[in-house]
Every structure is written in structure tokens, then in C-alpha cells.
Chain A
Amino acid sequence: MAGADPGVTRHVAIAGNPNCGKSTIFNALTGLRQKVGNYPGVTVEKKTGRFFGSHGEPMELLDLPGSYSLQVRSPDEAVARDVLLGRLPGTPRPDVIICVVDASNLERNLYLVAQMLELQIPVVVALNMVDVAEKNGAVIDLMALREKLGVPVIPTVATKGGGFIELRQAVSRSPLPPPPVCAQMPIVLEREVMALAKQLPVAPEVARGEALLLLTLHDEALDAITQHDRTIIDATRSAQQRLTASGIDPLSAPVDARYDWIGQVCAAALHKGGAHDATSISDQLDGWLTHRIWGWVAFVGMMALMFFCIFTVAQYPMDWIDAAKTALANWTKAHVPAGDLQSLLADGIIGGVGGVVIFLPQILILFFFLGILEDTGYMARAAFIMDRLMSKVGLHGKSFVPLLSSFACAIPGIMATRTIENRKDRLVTILVAPLMSCSARLPVYVVMIALMLPAASAWEQSGIMLAMYLTGLIAAFVMAWIFKKTLLRGDTPMLLLEMPPYRLPSWRGIAQRMWERGLLFLRRAGTVILALSIVLWALLTFPKPTHSDATPSEALSHSIGGRMGHAIEPLIAPLGYDWKIGIGLVGSFAAREVFVSTMGQVYNIEDADETSEPLREQMRAEKRADGTAVFTPLVCLGLMVFYVLAMQCISTVAIVRRETNSWFWPLFQIAYMTGLAWIGAFVVYQGGRLLGFQ
């Protein structure tokens, strides 16, 4: 079994219900020896890590997505099921399952245990949160539980590191016997299960579990199955019909059998005591935090704090990164002789990669807050509060965090959509998230507002800025509503949430998550973004003008990027833009903020940024062939609207590709957002002219 890595002696999977402490146990056992990726073909995160048994033997630990049962409702649960059944290519079927059970909620958690025991894989039960169960007044008879389950049961307190030594010893035990079958199915059902199992083209040890799962599927789910031939599906339907004829409901009989068994286990091993303080404190807090007025106050306060930190605290490390980027670029210019190589290194690579890495502090702070919100259990409450508003446009309450995060940067926002179980809701959220005005749009807004209203007060400028943010927000809600009615049609999902009790966050776990996210982000910056920066630099540099004394503007005009600016001129002329703005649009396709520096190149202004006065003056003085100004208030407003609505961020495209596992969605997103941006700018420019504005 331990096939993939020759050093690994066992493949161990950690399974359990959501919020039972799986990831805390996984982090504690593996430390920083973790790898984060995706399962092939789906966008469910795959976390594996190396840990060592009680005799130092290396084992691979796989953190399975949380699931309530093997009858799946979400892509996450489907992955957990497929791994356990050995269906997933590239992921070996585990040799041992650590089934984490929330001791404070034993009855509900035992359902998944019952299904695990049916899979014929050795199981070790980690009875987690025994301290919370004790506080709640529950007394669990460990000996009775071990006897009833027939597998090792190790009490743990994951947040305090309790029970991990015993857990390692239990997993290291060799050989681990397969578990006994606990929930007794009706004889007729068991006969049909065994008959179907014999026909399945799968390993014998998986066959019974697979057959039992097949028999409990309803018609639609059977039709959707792709991993079996039609003969198997037909055999399943025939078996279901025979069972129904003999008075047994194939869908509910196994469920009833498991609950009967759970009842027996709990009767023997669980003794409930009196009142429990922990729940009552949680209930009291919920009284405030989900209150229809105070709940909103607390929610807005928390979000304000999060964004305050993202915009202000992150500014210091961002400035340091920016200074380091500038210093590195200057050092390169000082040590590499002037020429293409210097330009590529300083402007292309350091400028391009540095322009993306600069967002790392914001991403880390965002994930720090998300970690706290998740660990404390507040995230479920926030989703509950927001659900009413989001459901108006057909979105899920859980969509609000990704959308909110996208005000800082769409990349962490899109990554945060992983918490949304429903695929269509997740896709809609991903599609509209980049419409939120991220911080990269600010330089464009600042320049355009200054050009549009040079004598405007700070309040007037802030008002226009706010209007741009609102335009993006409204566009996101309208587009979400349209997508939910057309392309990704589906019912407005009912919010089914488990409200976990409030807990103190695990700081170590949060730090580990920040480390993982930061590492993933930097790996991307060092590979895809680096390669893209080089390609973009080449597009804006080659071919070079034939005469050597050409100005940077002429050189840019001569480049492929410049020619593309000329080529798109007929398309952008109805928006009031000339070919020079076209170059700005092409140059900033990879990153919006590049628009300002590209315009600086076009107008021969050295080191142009959003505060550069010479650039503004040059742009203000720019005239068309007929002598009229290029950057009229309408053109400036149209450009801002264009940047509110256009994709113009290659990093977001790459992350959408990664998260949706297909090129269709990012390409569709580019197309619809560019179309929307064009229409928006067209309406502003032409509509404004019709109304007599300039």
C-alpha cells in the first residue's frame, strides 16, 4: 500500500466531522512537514504531512475534508469518500484511519465512525475535546466505548496537546486488525450488498463498502455516477427494486441500522450529567452576536477592524517591500551595464514580481483574521448574519467574506471561496469577486480624479472615490443575480450551518495557516508571475525602433504592446480613448496599477506614479488632432468606470484558473468583465456627451 513514497511505512488518513479538531491534530502530529495542493480534478485542498510513529517509523498523514457521512453533499465530502474507497488516482487508499470524534457531540459523530468501520480499514478513534464533554456534564466510559466499537479509542485534547503520545502508539501498532462490522444490516439487505459487491470491479476489501453506498443512492445520484459501467448501475437498481418489494427501503434501512447501533453504543458508554456551562456561555454570546441589531454592530465592528489592519498595519511592511524592491532595482541598474538585460532585470522582473509580492502582508493579515474568525467559531455566525442580505441576489451567506476580502485584493478573496460548499455559489462568488475595487485600482483613481477635478476639495475627491467603490459593489451584486438566473442557475441555497461553540483560537494553527498561504503565494510569484513579467516586458520592448535616438514613447509605440494599442484604437475610440490610452490598457492588462507607469512611459515621464505632477500636467495638455483635450472629465470618468469593471489582473486570472480547475471560467471572466467595462465606459462617455457634458 505504501507505494508512492518508498520511505513511508503507512498512509494514515485523518477523518471526522467538521469542527471536531481534525486539523489541530493534523498540525500537531506533522508540525511544518506539510504539503498543500489540490486533489486532481477538483478544487478541494489536499493537505498531507510526514509524521513519525512511536518507533520513529515515517508515515504519511492525509487531512481529509470534514464530512458528516459518506453519503456526500459537497465536493469536500466526495473527496473524503473517494480517498477512503481508493477511488482517487494519485492518492493511495489509507492503511489506517484516525477518526476524530467530538466527545461533546458523541452521538452525531458516531455516524461517520459507523461508516468508517464498514470500510474494512483499521480505525483508531481519537476522542477529542473530552475536556469540553466533561464540562458539559457528559461522562464517557472509555472501556465500554472501546468494547462496543472494537477499535482503539484514545482520549485527546487537541488544543492542549493531550493524548498525542498514545495516539501515535495506537497508529504505530502492528499489525492493526481490520475493525469488526458493527451496525448489523437486515439480512435481505446484507445479501443484496454481498451479491452486488461481487460484481464490482474493485478491490475485495472495498467492495462491501462501495456496494452499500451504491444501494443507498437515489435515482438521480445513480445516473450521475461515472466511475461504474451501466451494468453495475442496472444491477444496483434491480437490487433496490427487490429490496423495496421485500419491504425494505434501501435508502433508509442502512441509516436506521447505523442509528440503532449508535443508540446501543451511547447507552453503554455515554452518561449525560446535568447542566453544562460551556454551551450556556456560547448561547449567551450568541444572544448578542446573532442579535438582529447588536449582531450587525459586532459584525461591522469586526470587519472594520480587519480592514483597518489590512489597510494600515500592512502599509508598513508593504513600504518595506517597496523600498527593498526599489533598492534592488537601483542596485541592478548600478551593477548591470545599461542595455536590455538591465531593463529586463530592473523593470521587468524586479518591477513585475515585486509589484505582486508587495501584497503579501495584506494576504497574511487577512488570513490571520480569517483564522481567528474560523477558530473562535464566529465565522458561522457572520455567515448567518449576512445570509439574509446575500440571499437577495441568490448568494450564500458564506460569500460575504470572499467579497469583502476582495476589497483588499481579489486573490485572497478568491482563495477564501473555498469555504463555500456549493459549486455554483462558489463559481458565482469567484466570477464577481474581482468587481470589488481592490487596492491596485487606487493609483488609477487618484490620477483620474486629479485630472478630472484639479481644484476639487478632499471631500469631493473622496466622494468620487466612494462612488467608484459603490459602482463595483452594485455591479457585483447585479452580475451575481444575473449569473444565478442564467449561467449558474440554481436555487438560492438554504443556509444549513452548524454553530460550533465559541473557543479560544489556536495561535499555532493560525500561524501555520499563514505560513502555508504565504508560501503558496510566494511560490506563485516565483514561477508564474515571474514568467509572465518577463513575457510582458518583452511585449512592451520588442521590436525596437530602427533609429537609436528614439524616445521611450516612440520605442513603446513601436513594440508589440504599442502596436496592440494602435490595433485596438478603433475599438476604444467610441470610449473617447486614443492609441496612447490603448497602450496603457494593454500594458496594464497584467496589473491595473501598471497603467500609471505605462502612461509615464508613453509621455516620457521618468519614475511616474499616481502622485507625479509632471505626468498629470502632460496628460492634461495632451490634445487630439482637432485640438481638443484628450483627458476630458468624461474620458477620465469613463476610464475609472472601465477600471472598476475590467479584469486587468493576470494574477487573478491565474488564481481563478487554479481554483476552478479550468481555463473556461477565467477566460469567460475576462470576456464578461471586459465587455462590461467597455459598455460602462461607453455609456458614461457617449451618454455624458448626449447630455451636453464634455
Chain B
Amino acid sequence: MNPLLDQLAVAAMVCGAVAFFIVRFLRKRAAGKSCAGGCGCGTSKAAKPGRP
């Protein structure tokens, strides 16, 4: 394999793995409250429980 391709593939996977954690962290931060289930519920602090 072309060494450049080899390096690029590795770099893409490592960056992808790091990006995975960054995106997870940012998504939870943006949601405003940590949701444990990883269910992507987008829980927001702005939502007042019980309000119509």
C-alpha cells in the first residue's frame, strides 16, 4: 500500500475516534443536561416540567 494512503487512513480513523468523543461531549453540553441513556433525547434545561 502507498505509505501516504496508509498514513491517511490511520489519521482519519484516529481523528474520527477523537471526534466521536468531542461530538458526544458537545451534544450533551448543548442539551444542557447530561442524559445517561445515550438516547439522544435532547433534554433541555429550558423545558419546564409540567408546563403545557
What mask results when residues 20 to 52 of chain B are scored 1 for a CB within 8 Å of chain A, else 0? 110000000000011111110111100111111
Q: Given contacts A85-B50, A202-B51, A534-B14, are A527 and B20 in contact (CB under 8 A)? A: yes
Asked if A90 and B38 sit within 8 Å, CB to CB, the answer is no
Docked pose: A337 CA to B5 CA in angstroms: 11
Chain A positions within 8 Å of B18 at CB level: 531, 535
Asked if B17 and A339 sit within 8 Å, CB to CB, the answer is no
What mask results when residues 523 to 546 of chain A are scored 1 for a CB within 8 Å of chain B, else 0? 000010011101100100000000
Asked if B50 and A210 sit within 8 Å, CB to CB, the answer is yes
Chain B positions within 8 Å of A200 at CB level: 50
Asked if A202 and B52 sit within 8 Å, CB to CB, the answer is yes
Asked if B33 and A40 sit within 8 Å, CB to CB, the answer is yes
The size of the chain A interface, using a CB distance under 8 A, is 41
A43 proximal to B (CB < 8 A): yes
Asked if B51 and A336 sit within 8 Å, CB to CB, the answer is no
Asked if B13 and A344 sit within 8 Å, CB to CB, the answer is yes
Q: Given contacts A38-B36, A344-B10, A661-B34, are A337 and B20 in contact (CB under 8 A)? A: no
Docked pose: A200 CA to B36 CA in angstroms: 30
| A residues 171-227 in Cβ contact with B at 8 Å | 200-204, 206, 210, 227
Give min CB distance, B28 to chain A, whole Å. Answer: 10
A263 proximal to B (CB < 8 A): no
List the A residue with the shortest CB-CB distance to B3: A339
Chain A positions within 8 Å of B35 at CB level: 38, 40-41
List the A residue with the shortest CB-CB distance to B5: A341
Docked pose: A35 CA to B35 CA in angstroms: 15
Asked if A46 and B37 sit within 8 Å, CB to CB, the answer is yes
Give min CB distance, A604 to chain B, whole Å. Answer: 23
| B residues 1-16 in Cβ contact with A at 8 Å | 1, 3, 6-7, 9-10, 13-14, 16
A610 proximal to B (CB < 8 A): no
A37 proximal to B (CB < 8 A): yes
Asked if B50 and A661 sit within 8 Å, CB to CB, the answer is no
List the A residue with the shortest CB-CB distance to B40: A37
Asked if A37 and B39 sit within 8 Å, CB to CB, the answer is yes
Asked if B14 and A659 sit within 8 Å, CB to CB, the answer is no
Q: Given contacts A86-B50, A341-B9, are A531 and B20 in contact (CB under 8 A)? A: yes
Asked if A38 and B49 sit within 8 Å, CB to CB, the answer is no
Chain B positions within 8 Å of A41 at CB level: 33-36, 43
Docked pose: A41 CA to B45 CA in angstroms: 11
Chain B interface bracket (under 10, 10 to 19, 20 to 34, 35 or more):
20 to 34
Contact of B50 among A39, A87, A662 (CB under 8 A): A87
Chain B positions within 8 Å of A336 at CB level: 1
A88 proximal to B (CB < 8 A): yes
Chain A positions within 8 Å of B17 at CB level: 530-532, 534-535, 538
Chain A positions within 8 Å of B20 at CB level: 527, 531
Chain A positions within 8 Å of B3 at CB level: 339
A82 proximal to B (CB < 8 A): yes
Q: Given contacts A227-B49, A344-B13, are A39 and B6 in contact (CB under 8 A)? A: no
Chain A positions within 8 Å of B7 at CB level: 340
Asked if B47 and A535 sit within 8 Å, CB to CB, the answer is no
Of the listed residues B7, B9, B34, B49, the one surrounded by the most CB atoms of chain A closer than 10 A to its CB is: B49
Give min CB distance, B47 to chain A, whole Å. Answer: 4
What mask results when residues 81 to 118 of chain A are scored 1 for a CB within 8 Å of chain B, else 0? 01001111110000000000000000000000000000
A658 proximal to B (CB < 8 A): yes
Give min CB distance, A45 to chain B, whole Å. Answer: 8
Chain B positions within 8 Å of A46 at CB level: 37, 39
Give min CB distance, B10 to chain A, whole Å. Answer: 5
Docked pose: A674 CA to B36 CA in angstroms: 25
Contact of A341 among B10, B16, B38 (CB under 8 A): B10
Asked if B43 and A203 sit within 8 Å, CB to CB, the answer is no
Contact of B21 among A35, A86, A203, A531 (CB under 8 A): A531
Q: Given contacts A41-B35, A527-B20, are A90 and B41 in contact (CB under 8 A)? A: yes
Chain B positions within 8 Å of A39 at CB level: 37
Q: Given contacts A37-B39, A38-B37, A340-B7, are A89 and B1 in contact (CB under 8 A)? A: no
Chain B positions within 8 Å of A538 at CB level: 14, 17
Chain A positions within 8 Å of B10 at CB level: 340-341, 344
Docked pose: A662 CA to B44 CA in angstroms: 16
Docked pose: A659 CA to B3 CA in angstroms: 43
Chain B positions within 8 Å of A341 at CB level: 1, 6, 9-10
Give min CB distance, A657 to chain B, whole Å. Answer: 8
Give min CB distance, B4 to chain A, whole Å. Answer: 11
Chain A positions within 8 Å of B49 at CB level: 82, 86-89, 227
Chain A positions within 8 Å of B14 at CB level: 344, 534-535, 538
> Other CB < 8 Å A-B pairs besides A210-B50, A662-B34, 18 of them?
A37-B38, A38-B39, A40-B35, A40-B37, A41-B34, A86-B49, A89-B47, A90-B43, A201-B51, A203-B51, A337-B6, A339-B6, A340-B6, A531-B16, A534-B16, A535-B14, A658-B37, A661-B34
Interface positions of A (Cβ within 8 A of B): 35, 37-43, 46, 82, 85-90, 200-204, 206, 210, 227, 336-337, 339-341, 344, 527, 530-532, 534-535, 538, 658-659, 661-662
11 contacts between A and B (CB under 8 A): A39-B37, A41-B36, A200-B50, A201-B50, A206-B50, A337-B1, A339-B6, A527-B20, A531-B17, A534-B17, A659-B36
Q: Which 9 A-B pairs have the closest CB atoms?
A: A37-B37, A38-B37, A37-B39, A87-B49, A40-B43, A534-B17, A89-B47, A90-B41, A203-B52
